[in-house]
C-alpha cells in the first residue's frame, strides 16, 4: 500500500470513561449520540478491556501491543523511551503526518518531538479558572465531587481547545495521510462540569452507586482504606446522586467534542478515507464500591471495561454491538494492519479487522488487566502527598501501606473473573449471577474447578507474553547472513544499524 493510498487515522481517547455508560450498549439515560453514531456506522464493542486501571500503563500498552509486565510499563512514571516502539512513531516513520493533542501520559518529554510532527496541549491564550469549592478538611474534599464549574474552567477549556485545534487541522489541505491522537481530560475526576451538561441529568433518576459488600467482605484491603480516607461514608444519598449526574454530564461533554471531530471529517470529505477509533484508557469508580477515582490494583468492570467504537472505510457496519472479548491492546494491531504500516517488534495485539469485516464474532477467550507493585518497589509508587492534596487518599496508601498496593492480575472470560494477588485476597466472580461483583466466591469449593481453569489460562498467558525478543539479530560473525526479520527490524528507529536505537 503506497503512502497516497493509505487511509487517515483519528484515535480519540477519553480519560476514565466507563464502558457501561454509552448509548450504543443500551444505557437508558446516558446521552452519547456521537459515539453511538460511530458505532452504528462501524462497530461498537461491549466487552473491551484495558490492560491497566491507570493512565500511563494503559496508554503504553495500546501504543506498543505489550502488556504492562512485558517491559515494566506498569507505573505512572515509566513511559516509552527512545529504544522502544510506539504507535505514533511507527506512523510518522511510514510517511504519515502525526498530530497529537491533549494529555500525554505516554512519552517522556524529551522524546515528544521525535514522536510526532505537531503537538497541541494547554488552553491556548484563554484565561482559565482553577480549583474546586472545598477547603482541605471539608468532608467532601477527598471525594472529588466539585459539581458545577464555569465554562472557562481549566478541564473544560483544555478539552475544548484541543478539539478546536483538531478540527482546524482536519480542515487544512493535506499532501499526505495524517494520524491524529486526540486525547481528552474528561471524564477524569474531579467530578466537575459546566452548563448545560451540569443540569442535563435528573438527580432523582440517576442510579445510586453499587454498594460494596458488608464490611467489604471478599474485597481487597485497598477499597476499605480508600473508602475511609475519602470519607465516602459521610456522603448523603443526594450527594452520591449528584456525583453520578455530574459524571454523566462529563461523559456527554466529551461525546460532544468527539462529535465536532466527526462533523469536521464529514464536512471536509475526509470521512470516506479515515479510520476513526474512540475509546478510553480506563474507567472510574464514580462512587461504586464506596470509593471514587480509581486504584492501580483493583479490576472491577467499572475500571477495566471501556467503550470502543471503530469505523474502517470500506467495511459494512456490524449488524449489532459486538460481544467479542477484546482489549485496548488490539488497537495497535488493528491500525497498523489496516494502514499497511510495517511493524518491527514482537507484540501481542490481535487485529480487530476480521471482527469488523463480519468474518467472525469471536476474538479472544480471555482478557487481562494488571497492576500494583511488589513491596520493595518504592520506585514504582507515585509521590506521597500531604493531606491538603486531593490525591492524598490513594497515594498515601500506595506509598505507606505497600501490601495494600501489591501486584495483582485479572483474567476475565465472558462468564467469570479471577484475580490473583501477591499479598491480599484473591477474587472469583460468577459474572452471570453476580454482574456487580459483590460476592467473591474464591473460598467456595464448588467453584474450585473454575478457579483452577482460569489460573492455568493465566499461567499460559504469562508464559506466552513474559518477554519480547527483539527481531534484530546480533550477528555472530562477519559472514553470517542476516535473516529477513532482522533486516526489517533495522528499518525502524529503535533498532537502527548503528546501534543507537
pLDDT given at position 384: 87
Q: What angle do CA 374, 17, 60 make, to 5 degrees?
A: 45
Rounded Cα distance, 307 and 472, in Å: 36
pLDDT(73) > 60 = yes
Kindly state the average pLDDT of the residues 170-178: 97
pLDDT in tens, 48-68: 999 999 999 999 999 999 999
- Specify whether the backbone of 210 is left (phi greater than 0), alpha (psi in -120 to 50) or beta: beta
Rounded Cα distance, 367 and 67, in Å: 11
pLDDT(325) > 50 = yes
pLDDT given at position 499: 40
Kindly state the average pLDDT of the residues 303-316: 98
pTM of the predicted structure, to 2 decimals: 0.97
pLDDT given at position 114: 94
pLDDT in tens, 455-497: 999 999 999 999 999 999 999 999 999 999 999 899 999 987 4
Burial class (CB in 10 A: 0-12, 13-18, 19+), 110: exposed
Task: Assess contact for 263 and 14: CB atoms under 8 A.
Answer: no
pLDDT given at position 378: 87
pLDDT(112) > 70 = yes
pLDDT(500) > 60 = no
Q: Domain 3-411 carries which CATH code? A: 3.40.720.10
Kindly state the average pLDDT of the residues 118-139: 95
pLDDT(100) > 50 = yes
pLDDT(348) > 80 = yes
pLDDT given at position 1: 63
At 381, the pLDDT band (50, 70, 90 cuts) reads: confident
pLDDT given at position 383: 85
Rounded Cα distance, 65 and 14, in Å: 19
pLDDT given at position 218: 98
The percentage of the chain sitting over the pLDDT mark of 90, rounded to a whole number, equals 96
pLDDT given at position 501: 43
As annotated, the residues of the chain forming the CATH 3.40.720.10 domain(s) are 3-411
At 77, the pLDDT band (50, 70, 90 cuts) reads: very high
Rounded Cα distance, 32 and 55, in Å: 22
pLDDT given at position 343: 96
Length in residues, the chain? 501
- 397-to-197, 226, 264, 401, 405 alpha-carbon distances in Å: 33, 8, 45, 5, 7
pLDDT in tens, 18-43: 999 999 999 999 999 999 999 999 99
pLDDT(202) > 50 = yes
Kindly state the average pLDDT of the residues 354-369: 98
Task: Assess contact for 433 and 466: CB atoms under 8 A.
Answer: no
pLDDT given at position 60: 98
pLDDT in tens, 431-440: 999 999 999 9
Per the DSSP assignment, residues forming a β-bridge with 145 are 191
pLDDT in tens, 208-231: 999 999 999 999 999 999 999 999
pLDDT given at position 495: 83
Rounded Cα distance, 319 and 314, in Å: 15
Amino acid at each position: 500500500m503506497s503512502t497516497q493510498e493509505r487511509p487517515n487515522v483519528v484515535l480519540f481517547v477519553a480519560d476514565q470513561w466507563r464502558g457501561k455508560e454509552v448509548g450504543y450498549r443500551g444505557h437508558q439515560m446516558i446521552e452519547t449520540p456521537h459515539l453511538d453514531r460511530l458505532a452504528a456506522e462501524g462497530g461498537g464493542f461491549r466487552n473491551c478491556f484495558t490492560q491497566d486501571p491507570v493512565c500511563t500503563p494503559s496508554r503504553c500498552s495500546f501504543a506498543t501491543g505489550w502488556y504492562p509486565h512485558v517491559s515494566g510499563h506498569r507505573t505512572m512514571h515509566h513511559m516509552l523511551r527512545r529504544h522502544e516502539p510506539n504507535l505514533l512513531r511507527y506512523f510518522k516513520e511510514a510517511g504519515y503526518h502525526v498530530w497529537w493533542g491533549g494529555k500525554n501520559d505516554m512519552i517522556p518529554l524529551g522524546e515528544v518531538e521525535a514522536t510526532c510532527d505537531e503537538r497541541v496541549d494547554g488552553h491556548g491564550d484563554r484565561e482559565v479558572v482553577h480549583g474546586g469549592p472545598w477547603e482541605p478538611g471539608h468532608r467532601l474534599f477527598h471525594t472529588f465531587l466539585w459539581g458545577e464549574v464555569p465554562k472557562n474552567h481549566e478541564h473544560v477549556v483544555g478539552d475544548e481547545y484541543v478539539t478546536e485545534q483538531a478540527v482546524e487541522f482536519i480542515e487544512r489541505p493535506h499532501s499526505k495521510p495524517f494520524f491524529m491522537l486526540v486525547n481528552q481530560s474528561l471524564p477524569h475526576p474531579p467530578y466537575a462540569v459546566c452548563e448545560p451538561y451540569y443540569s442535563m441529568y435528573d438527580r432523582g433518576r440517576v442510579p445510586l452507586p453499587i454498594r460494596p459488600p458488608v464490611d467489604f467482605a471478599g474485597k481487597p484491603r485497598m477499597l476499605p482504606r480508600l473508602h475511609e480516607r475519602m470519607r465516602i461514608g459521610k456522603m448523603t444519598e443526594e450527594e452520591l446522586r449528584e456525583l453520578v449526574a455530574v459524571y454523566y454530564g462529563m461523559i456527554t461533554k466529551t461525546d460532544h467534542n468527539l462529535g465536532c471531530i466527526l462533523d469536521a471529517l464529514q464536512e471536509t470529505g475526509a470521512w470516506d478515507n479515515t479510520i476513526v477509533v474512540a475509546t478510553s484508557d480506563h474507567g472510574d469508580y464514580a462512587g461504586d464500591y464506596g470509593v471514587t477515582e480509581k486504584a492501580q490494583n483493583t479490576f472491577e468492570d467499572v475500571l477495566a471495561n471501556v467503550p470502543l467504537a471503530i469505523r474502517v472505510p470500506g467495511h459494512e457496519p456490524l449488524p449489532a454491538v459486538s460481544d467479542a472479548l477484546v482489549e485496548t491492546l488490539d488497537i495497535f494491531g488493528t491500525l497498523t494492519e489496516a494502514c499497511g504500516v510495517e511493524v518491527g517488534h514482537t507484540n501481542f495485539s490481535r487485529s480487530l479487522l476480521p471482527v469488523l469485516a463480519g468474518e467472525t464474532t469471536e476474538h479472544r477467550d480471555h482478557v487481562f488487566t494488571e497492576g500494583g507493585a511488589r513491596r520493595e518497589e518504592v520506585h514504582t509508587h507515585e509521590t506521597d502527598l500531604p493531606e491538603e492534596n486531593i490525591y492524598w487518599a490513594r497515594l498515601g496508601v500506595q506509598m505507606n501501606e505497600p501490601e495494600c498496593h501489591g501486584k495483582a492480575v485479572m483474567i476475565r472470560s465472558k462468564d467469570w473473573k479471577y484475580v490473583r494477588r501477591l499479598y491480599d485476597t484473591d477474587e472469583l466472580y460468577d459474572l452471570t449471577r453476580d454482574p456487580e461483583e459483590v460476592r467473591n466466591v474464591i473460598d467456595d469449593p464448588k467453584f474450585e474447578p473454575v478457579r483452577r481453569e482460569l489460573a492455568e489460562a493465566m499461567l499460559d498467558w504469562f508464559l506466552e507474553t513474559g518477554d519480547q525478543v527483539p527481531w534484530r539479530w546480533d550477528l555472530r560473525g562477519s559472514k553470517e547472513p542476516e535473516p529477513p526479520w532482522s533486516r526489517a527490524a533495522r528499518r525502524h528507529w529503535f533498532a537502527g544499524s548503528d546501534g543507537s536505537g
